[in-house]
Amino acid sequence: MSKVTYKAQRQRPGCLFFFMAFLLLGLALVTANKYTNIFSGIFDKTKPLYGKDEFPDFEEVWSFGQGSNKVVRIAVNGMITLRSNKSVFSRGNSSQMTLDSIRRATLDKNVQAIILDIDSGGGGITASDIIYKKLLDFKKNVPSRKIVAIYGDVAASGAYYISLAADHIIARPTSITGSIGVLIPSVNIFELADKYGIKDTTIKSGANKDMLNPLKEPSEQQQEIAQSVVDALYKRFVMLVSQQRNIPEQDVRNLADGRIFTAQEAQELKLIDEIGYWDDAMTRTAELLKKDNIIIYRYQPKPSFGELLLGISSFSPKAWFNNTPRIQYRWQ
């Protein structure tokens, strides 16, 4: 009987092997990049040493124009709020990107101007005010710097508030602006809850601790308290419009009842300077800088290793579900 022999089958590396190899390679590249940045910052004396949040590590993308006069294009889009989901794969929201971009531009001495590309109905009062203040800091850091704002579909309430930092405001012919005012959006379902036997059992330390509780009818005192806060913040908004747009304060109050305006109306009321398009924003920026040409960049976040590996979106549904009443400069 003949002897049967079997050849050993060579095992081929499976998917797990390739995945682990790819993962280790990625980690090695990320680590190398991290320490390269650290050491380059130490030994390269021309590179400023700033914190990661102070001087965000953005990629600069050539956007428009040519020459050596550097201008940065920064977007203000959507709801203005600096709240964000700080997960491993999340970069926060567009307002945080706006703020980070302004910080980056402020510390880059080569940046001579910012073009604000605005399309927003406003948002949080503090978020709007912080971005407005950082824009003023940008100019204060280098007094020759300029800011030009150009509106998209909407630049209302908090978005208009932000644009007050600009040296020149351009609205497209179809833009809507205005809505100067303050609101505290809140829903009261006291009567509905009472009808179905739903009772409020909030334990509180004072009579006004649960103001705007949707299950309780607000008292007269609580309404007065809320209105006094709104009035104070409204007064600040009106004052800034008066100062930055050189309009008498009473004239601002007459038009600042929350109404919105077309571009033509806003120009007549001196809320904006010009009706035009993107090319006009570029031209006006060069004129303000007294330069023949400008080169415009925009900032783009460098993708994290996790985003490159898994392609995970920065969308966070958590941001859409938050019923806490917030005081807002927003077009409702």
Tokens 């302004």 found at: 102
- Rounded CA-CA distance 172/155 in Å is 11
Q: What is the pLDDT of residue 189?
A: 83
- pLDDT tens for each residue of 86-136: 443 334 468 999 999 999 999 999 999 999 999 999 999 999 999 999 999
- Extract the tokens encoding 92: 């926060």
Q: What is the pLDDT of residue 81?
A: 92
Of these residues, 209, 235, 302, 318, which one is catalytic?
209
Kind of pairing, strands 58-65 and 295-301? antiparallel
Q: Where are the beta strands (DSSP E) in 127-198?
A: 146-156, 168-171, 176-178
Residues of the chain by 3-state class (helix, strand, coil), percent to 5: 40, 20, 40
Name which CATH class applies to 50-179+258-330.
alpha beta
Q: What is the pLDDT of residue 233?
A: 95
Whether residue 119 contacts residue 172, with contact meaning beta carbons closer than 8 Å, is answered with no
- pLDDT tens for each residue of 193-213: 778 888 878 888 988 888 888
The three-state secondary structure class of 150 is strand
pTM: 0.78
Which one, of 96, 115, 116, lies nearest residue 161 by Cα? 116
Whether residue 329 contacts residue 125, with contact meaning beta carbons closer than 8 Å, is answered with yes
Of these residues, 90, 157, 163, 175, which one is catalytic?
157
Kindly list the domain boundaries of the chain, sorted by start residue: 50-179+258-330
Find all residues with CB under 8 Å of 14, minimum gap 6, and list them.
none
Residues in the chain, pLDDT under 50? 1, 4-8, 34-46, 85-92, 312-323
Which one, of 144, 95, 84, 101, lies nearest residue 121 by Cα? 95
- Extract the tokens encoding 196: 């179905």
- Rounded CA-CA distance 202/215 in Å is 10
Active site annotation includes 205: no
Active site annotation includes 209: yes
